Amino acid sequence: METRVALIAIIVEKGAAVDGVNALLHEYADKIIGRMGVPYKPKDVNIISIAIDAPQDDINTLAGKIGRIDGVSAKTVYASV
């Protein structure tokens, strides 16, 4: 199956949502290239970027599930390769 490279940008505004985000990322761990998380204390948010190489349907599903968690926003950018 053909895969795509993408970056999922995640903003967590509610600390209680972190466990749900981490659980979803664990489900897709075999497709994740890398992850960077930055807690930004002055605004009390967590910023997470996920580099992923997976079928487009899997990327869309993951981003959609993450975005449905209360207090979490997610956007995806795809590489042209």
Which pLDDT value is given to residue 1?
Answer: 84
pLDDT at position 8 over 90? yes
Of 56, 52, 59, the C-alpha closest to 33 is: 52
pLDDT tens figures, 28-59 = 999 999 999 999 999 999 999 999 999 999 99
pTM, to two decimals: 0.92
Q: Mean pLDDT across the chain, nearest whole number?
A: 96
**What are the residue boundaries of the structural domains of the chain, listed by start?**
4-78
Of 39, 68, 66, the C-alpha closest to 50 is: 66
Which pLDDT value is given to residue 61?
Answer: 97
Tokens of 19: 């466990």
DSSP β-bridge partners for residue 64: none
Count of beta carbons in the 10 Å neighbourhood of residue 39? 13
Contact 25, 50 (CB under 8 A): yes
> For domain 4-78, which architecture applies?
2-Layer Sandwich (3.30)
